Structure 1
Amino acid sequence: MRLLKWLSVFATLGMLLVLLGGALVTKTDSGMGCGNSWPLCHGEWIPSEIDVALIIELSHRLVSGGVGLLVLSLSVIAWVKVGHIREVKFLSFLAFFFLLTQGLIGAAAVKWGQSDFVLALHFGISLVSFAAVLLLMLIIFEIDRKFDAHSLLIRKPFRLQIYSLTTYTLIVVYTGALVRHTYSSMACLDWPLCRNASPFDFSLYGSAQWIQMGHRAAAAGVFIWTGFLMMKALKDYKNSPIMKKGWILAASLMVAQVLVGAFVIMTYVHLGLALLHALVISLFVGLLSYFLLLSSRSAKYERSVK
């Protein structure tokens, strides 16, 4: 079990690197750093001409490939060793399948090109894989101390809120990725509003403003919804440290996400802040996935006592 625990930790950290690496490739416009050649760089095993874009793109490919092997190993070993645990087989499949899918989308984009709307799916697909790996890690560390469904029962109305918020958050993540891939990050130089002489401009530049403001409005929905669920958790689950601390952390991450997003605009898309923006939303989605796991167990327990 010790090997499996360490493997799960490294795979989870590796997935975070994959997410940040993908964001770095997009933010620095390095997607074609190796030309339209994949998996080689400009058709060469060892590129003869090296620049920054090539280093970023090739590093991302190498990290993704190495992490892919880690995730595959974790999925297979977890399936064999702890596959009797209810969620393990599904999460094992989910983790590797979505990581493979995002890799294929990336390869297709390099070889044949893809629309911005398809490329925007890339980050969200990687997030699903990250969430699955994170949950596998938590389950593996949980084995020594079994989860007791009686200790935390998330009631159905709150579970439905968690399911809905998670779905909505993934949609918002997609709009954020669309902002990056359509180069709309600086379409509005003001924050939080977009003061523009032609607010209903539907030209090429005007559409970028709509994409940017659409993402901000959608993100505001996640911020408000998370705050509401935090208040509800503090009121309805006073005796549950997991619910209280978890939703305080969720709200804190969302506050950080909004502030970092504002600073990204104010600093004209500072690269470090842009990567921090991607990291915070990844952690937020990971936390939501944990609440999904707890909700699933609560639902199973409710069905068993009926």
Structure 2
Amino acid sequence: MKPPPPDPTRLLRRLAWAGAVLSFGLIVLGGVVRITGSGMGCGDHWPRCNGVWFPPLDLPTMIEIGHRWAAALVSIVVLAMAAVAWTRHRSERRLRDPATLAVIVLIVQVLLGAVTVKLSLPPAVVIIHLANAMVLLAVILVTALRATKPGASPTATQVTGAHSAPLRHSAHRLVMGTAALGFAVILFGAQVANFHAGLLCLGFPLCNGSMLPPTTPMAFLPWVHRALAFGFLAVVVGLAARLCRRTDPASRALRQSVALVAAATVLQIAVAAAMVLELLPPTLRALHLLVGTLVWAALVILVFHSGRTPAAGTKPAGPSLVADLVTLTKPRIISLLLVTTVAPMFITPAGLPSVSLVIWVIIGGYLMAGGANTINMWFDRDIDDKMSRTRLRPIPAGRIPAAWGLAFGIGLGLVAFAIFWYRVNPLSAWLALGGLLVYVFVYTIWLKRTSPQNIVIGGAAGAFPPLVGWAAMTGRLDLAAIYLFAIIFYWTPPHFWALALIKRGEYARAGVPMMPVVRGEARTKFEMLAYTLILLPLTLMPTFFGALGAFYGVAAALLGARLLWYCIQLLREQSSGPLAWRMYRYSLLYLALLFVAMGIDRAIPFGHRARTVPVLILDRPEQDLATPGVGHHGH
């Protein structure tokens, strides 16, 4: 009898599950730190405790330093997991990518922990710290689940002709929405706890004996938390009833997952009721967090299995109208634009932005960029039909009439302009509209089909987001904002030309004069290197001039070195397809991490303050900078 073949994912699987269990425990232990008031048990020192590595241990210090040691253990396991993924499963992206993402989220978590201590536990940072911990747990769980079922594909597929379409369960989107709702319930619960609002809504299930929301803002928080929790329970019960109708073996894991979610949710509400009726005893508060974390973990597992379990007897269906409308906005591209919009808001001399301001900027920014992208798809529908990458878009595929697409894009732009004008300030509204106009008229209509420099000049539209974010906070444009504009301007050519190298043939057939089509690959690669050599010193200047600190400087140098390496390798290789694709994907990550590093550098207590030179003041007087907010300030 032959011995069973070796299990190639055994080590990764064990590390991932160990990391998931430890992360779960770390979240609960963090709650114990907060509940017992031990968050400052080590003073405002980090990473040392009360200025030393091994302090005298009273109870608060023991709890806090125990939490830090547990965090260190989680860090070791996650780093080991990523190392195994890269050394043993480098070619398996489904294992390598989540393990790598876990390291990135872990780094953010460690930095948030330091900021939390240095700033003496501000509620907003504590809440973000918890949210990021939940994300870390989810990413580690996904790694563990993928390593547990190495032979399964991420989604079941049915092949039709030359194309394959995902055959997820028909309730997969509902499951995703349920998970998002569960995450929102957790965040509102964190706000209730950290703003000490739990006792402002007495009684259960009613709040102070009434179904109506309280009139005071703080009492409104627990009321919303309860309303969301009851809504979540109703959705979970309905989802469980739907998913448990099937009894075939293929859906067994799905049924077990939704049953776990339902059971944990019922238990969580029971614990919440006891906690409120007993006036928030510490033991029940800790249990409430533990069961809530269990609900979240079960939701992640449910999402994973719903993406791998095809509905019985179903065939791939075309996208819905809503899905097509979302596709027109190009949400993946917009996600990067929003990062470059929001990050500058955290580094202006006006201080930190309010949550409401960030939300309005995100909404307005998405709608404005979505409107520009939709109009772009409307105008380019003829050439989109000639390219494999774009022929299945809603307009060239005939799922949405061209006139509808144009009207939708214009409507999004108008709504976005109104949001910026009335909820942020007029300067940000004009800048956002300016980005749309440059993208539509300068790039899409004028340069894209006429000049190989189309992406250089017209691509400046993608550099408007940091101007919008800066103006949203300060009501003016400073030299620093123009500098951020320049970073994206010089980043755009090497980023987009990497894609153009891959799609050179398609651009040629469509008659689009991209640089590789008109000037050839060698010239394109040389110019990519030239723009990168301009970009990298530009990204380091804020550190040399003292506008940003060492954290950003190190991050910019490391990120830039990798981008430069890709450019040099492209220049040396004859066949640039796979390498160009890797560079294209990395350049997206590069810009996102660069701007995130700016925000983190400013957030850490030892970061530098900005020194900016005002070059334009259009809307808000200088004294308004002390209280950045929303709303239309008069001229």
Task: Sort the TM-score into its range (normalised by shorter chain).
Answer: 0.7 to 0.9
Aligned residue number for residue 252 of structure 2: 241
1:249-288 correspondence runs (5 A): 249-288=260-299
Aligned residue number for residue 94 of structure 1: 101
TM-score for both structures, normalised by structure 1 = 0.86
1:215-230 correspondence runs (5 A): 215-230=225-240
Question: What is the CA distance between 1:174 and its match in structure 2?
Answer: 0.6
Amino acid at match of 1:97: I
Aligned residue number for residue 193 of structure 2: 180
Question: What is the CA distance between 1:90 and its match in structure 2?
Answer: 2.5
Is 1:57 the counterpart of 2:29? The answer is no
Judged with a 3 Å threshold, the aligned counterparts in structure 2 of structure 1 residues 171 and 80 are, in CA distance, closer, same or farther, namely same
Aligned residue number for residue 149 of structure 1: 156
Of residues 136, 141, 153, the one that matches 2:143 is 136
Aligned residue number for residue 121 of structure 1: 128
Amino acid at match of 2:37: D
- Structure 1 contact 121–177 (Cα < 8 Å) conserved: no
Q: Name the CA distance, whole Å, in 1 between partners of 2:134 and 2:172.
A: 21
Aligned residue number for residue 67 of structure 1: 74
- Structure 2 contact 116–125 (Cα < 8 Å) conserved: no
Judged with a 3 Å threshold, the aligned counterparts in structure 2 of structure 1 residues 199 and 124 are, in CA distance, closer, same or farther, namely closer
Question: What is the CA distance between 1:172 and its match in structure 2?
Answer: 1.2
Is 1:9 the counterpart of 2:38? The answer is no
Q: Name the CA distance, whole Å, in 2 between partners of 1:256 and 1:128.
A: 22
Structure number, greater radius of gyration:
2
Q: Name the CA distance, whole Å, in 1 between partners of 2:184 and 2:96.
A: 26
Q: How many residues align?
A: 295
- Structure 1 contact 184–211 (Cα < 8 Å) conserved: yes
Question: What is the CA distance between 1:73 and its match in structure 2?
Answer: 0.7
1:74-113 correspondence runs (5 A): 74-113=81-120
Q: Name the CA distance, whole Å, in 2 between partners of 1:278 and 1:133.
A: 19
Can you list the C-alpha shifts for 1:245-264, whole angstroms capped at 9, x where unaligned? 22122111110111111111
Q: Secondary structure at the match of 1:124?
A: helix
Percent identity reads 27
Question: What is the CA distance between 1:38 and its match in structure 2?
Answer: 0.6
Can you list the C-alpha shifts for 1:238-289, whole angstroms capped at 9, x where unaligned? 3222222221221111101111111111233233322222222222222222
Aligned residue number for residue 31 of structure 2: 23
Q: Secondary structure at the match of 1:44?
A: coil
Judged with a 3 Å threshold, the aligned counterparts in structure 2 of structure 1 residues 291 and 63 are, in CA distance, closer, same or farther, namely same
Amino acid at match of 1:103: V
- Structure 1 contact 223–254 (Cα < 8 Å) conserved: yes
Aligned residue number for residue 305 of structure 2: 294
Deviates more, 1:65-74 or 1:3-12: 3-12
Judged with a 3 Å threshold, the aligned counterparts in structure 2 of structure 1 residues 84 and 273 are, in CA distance, closer, same or farther, namely farther
Can you list the C-alpha shifts for 1:214-237, whole angstroms capped at 9, x where unaligned? 1111111111111110111123x3
Amino acid at match of 1:279: L
Q: Secondary structure at the match of 1:120?
A: helix
Q: Name the CA distance, whole Å, in 2 between partners of 1:94 and 1:298.
A: 25
Relative CO higher for 1 or 2, CA cutoff 8 Å, sep ≥ 6?
A: 1
Q: Name the CA distance, whole Å, in 1 between partners of 2:132 and 2:213.
A: 33
Aligned residue number for residue 34 of structure 1: 42
Question: What is the CA distance between 1:199 and its match in structure 2?
Answer: 6.7
- Structure 2 contact 214–223 (Cα < 8 Å) conserved: no
| Unaligned ranges ≥5, structure 2 | 1-8, 159-165, 318-391, 393-635
Amino acid at match of 1:214: V
Question: What is the CA distance between 1:114 and its match in structure 2?
Answer: 5.6
| Unaligned ranges ≥5, structure 1 | none
1:204-215 correspondence runs (5 A): 207-215=217-225
Q: Name the CA distance, whole Å, in 1 between partners of 2:259 and 2:176.
A: 18
